[in-house]
């Protein structure tokens, strides 16, 4: 993992821009907008993904694999924290004196002269960002946006708009969310995560307080999440709008019914109450809706029209996304990679599966997160009828001795419900052998577990 060098000034004109790791959700969104602005864009990534293919269609030159020869002669290089310090393109750019900026700096550059809405939180960011964008579009506003996932109704994760509003998903994992000139912040929760970077819960919450304090217009923050409540007490001299189930919430949820494929609830805002049914399941999505509504109401939009606009949201890529059905078994994929997210995702899935069973294929992400939360992951995954645990997706970390996916499976109280499968190629057959007509198989994690979906469908077909 490289540490962002925020001392590097962003050039006034980015010119030709080379992205190292261009296929990532945040990186690809920034590249898409720069292409739309007329910049020449090149890049490299480890895999030839759908995001890479789309950028090529838009005019980007992209190489597979990281190599000095792929750098070319750009004016600016954009990197992500997930890169290794030994990346040859990164090192060559530094050696040649080419400005190397972090993706958050490139995004901050794009948002200049806009009124920025930044969505942060340990989880719920992508869905909440998508809901804010959907709501604004429904109100006739054309915002620019960069989200961490493709918004289903828009078919894209990023777009340059005509209005002065710019909506982004702000990443807190490395502290880069502090570098935006934020007008409105939406904090979904402050659940402990990324402690490998922050070192302590107190430091993690302190950064969120700084992020909120930097919001020029107002802060929208959860009334329910304990960490968010502590952060709220640290905010001084800022307008704060709270949302959630708490009695004192400014935008309050009641009568939540998450028992079916579409969550229903009542919501109160701006002195009015509304009955709402979303197109997606899960109590967590009702909470995300409340946060998005608080943003629109805070911006001065009519509450009733805002409710109707946001309710059009149909989901984002890799959030309980159906990929296919084979011999009566539905195969979904979900991005959940923190115990709280896993609990929410499985609770939502349980409401949809009916009499079927849930079989989760879980890929832990990061050695540090697995070590810190192995017990919590096991408790969350126990909501599945069967769990297949893969080995760890390392991402930006070096291996830790003794830390494998087995830490999660060993923490299960009922060992009959869990199967640790260290070899990737063995996992599809194991999952398929557990499934019967009416069941759901869900690949889960923020690594590359989604790539197993075709193999799972194939294993179901032949088993």
Is 202 among the residues known to form the active site? no
Tell me if 243 sits within 8 A of 251, measured CB to CB.
yes
Handedness of CA 156, 157, 160, 165 (dihedral sign): positive
Query: How many Å apart are CA 329 and CA 324, to the nearest integer?
Result: 8
**Catalytic-role residue among 125, 242, 316, 326:** 125
Tell me if 409 sits within 8 A of 423, measured CB to CB.
no
Contacts of 387 (CB under 8 A, 6+ apart): 359, 360, 361, 362, 381, 409, 412, 417, 418, 419
Q: At what angle do helices 339-353 and 367-381 cross, to 10 degrees?
A: 30
Burial of residue 271 (number of CB atoms within 10 Å: 0-12, 13-18, 19+): exposed
Query: How many Å apart are CA 328 and CA 440, to the nearest integer?
Result: 9
Tell me if 438 sits within 8 A of 354, measured CB to CB.
yes
Tell me if 141 sits within 8 A of 25, measured CB to CB.
no
Is 125 among the residues known to form the active site? yes
Tell me if 275 sits within 8 A of 257, measured CB to CB.
no
Burial of residue 268 (number of CB atoms within 10 Å: 0-12, 13-18, 19+): middle
**Catalytic-role residue among 42, 54, 80, 169:** 169
Phi and psi (nearest 5°) for 313?
Answer: -60, 130
Q: How many CA atoms lie within 13 A of 261 on its CB side?
A: 8
Contacts of 337 (CB under 8 A, 6+ apart): 364, 365, 369, 444, 445, 446, 447
Contacts of 299 (CB under 8 A, 6+ apart): 184
Radius of gyration of the CA atoms of the chain, in A: 22
Is 169 among the residues known to form the active site? yes
**Catalytic-role residue among 54, 76, 80, 126:** 126
Kind plus residue range of the DSSP H or E element containing 376: helix 367-381
User: What is the set of active-site residues?
Assistant: 125-126, 169
């Amino acid at each position: 993992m490289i540490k962002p060098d925020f001392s590097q000034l962003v050039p006034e004109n980015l010119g030709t821009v080379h992205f190292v790791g261009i296929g990532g959700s945040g990186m690809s969104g920034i590249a898409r907008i720069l292409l739309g602005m007329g910049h020449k864009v090149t890049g490299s990534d480890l895999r030839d993904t759908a995001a890479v293919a789309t950028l090529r269609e838009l005019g980007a030159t992209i190489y597979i694999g990281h190599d000095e020869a792929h750098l070319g002669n750009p004016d600016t290089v954009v990197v992500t924290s997930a890169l290794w310090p030994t990346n040859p393109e990164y090192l060559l750019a530094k050696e040649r004196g080419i400005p190397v900026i972090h993706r958050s700096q490139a995004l901050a550059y794009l948002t200049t002269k806009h009124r920025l809405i930044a969505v942060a939180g340990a989880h719920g960011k992508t869905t909440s960002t998508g809901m804010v964008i959907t709501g604004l579009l429904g109100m006739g506003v054309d915002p620019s946006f960069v989200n961490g996932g493709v918004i289903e109704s828009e078919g894209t994760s990023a777009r340059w708009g005509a209005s002065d509003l710019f909506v982004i998903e702000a990443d807190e994992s490395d502290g880069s969310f502090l570098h935006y000139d934020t007008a409105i912040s939406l904090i979904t929760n402050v659940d402990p995560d990324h402690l490998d970077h922050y070192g302590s819960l107190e430091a993690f919450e302190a950064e969120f307080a700084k992020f909120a304090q930097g919001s020029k217009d107002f802060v929208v923050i959860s009334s329910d999440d304990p960490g968010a409540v502590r952060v709220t007490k640290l905010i001084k001299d800022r307008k704060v709008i709270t949302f959630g189930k708490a009695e004192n919430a400014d935008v309050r949820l009641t009568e939540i019914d998450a028992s079916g494929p579409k969550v229903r609830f009542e919501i109160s805002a701006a002195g009015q109450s509304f009955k709402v049914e979303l197109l997606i399941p899960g109590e967590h999505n009702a909470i995300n809706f409340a946060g998005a509504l608080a943003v629109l109401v805070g911006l001065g939009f009519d509450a009733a029209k805002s409710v109707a606009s946001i309710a059009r949201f149909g989901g984002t890529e890799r959030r309980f996304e159906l990929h296919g059905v084979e011999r009566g078994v539905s195969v979904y994929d979900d991005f959940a990679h923190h115990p709280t997210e896993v609990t929410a995702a499985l609770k939502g899935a349980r409401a949809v599966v009916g009499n079927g069973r849930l079989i989760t294929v879980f890929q832990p992400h990061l050695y540090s997160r697995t070590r810190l939360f192995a017990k919590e992951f096991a408790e969350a995954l126990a909501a599945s009828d069967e769990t297949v645990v893969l080995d760890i997706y390392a991402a930006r970390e070096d291996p830790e001795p003794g830390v494998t996916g087995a830490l999660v499976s060993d923490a299960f109280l009922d060992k009959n419900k869990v199967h640790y499968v260290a070899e990737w190629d063995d996992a599809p057959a194991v999952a398929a052998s557990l499934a019967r007509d009416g069941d759901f198989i869900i690949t889960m994690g923020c690594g590359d577990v989604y790539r197993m979906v075709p193999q799972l469908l194939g294993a179901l077909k032949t088993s």
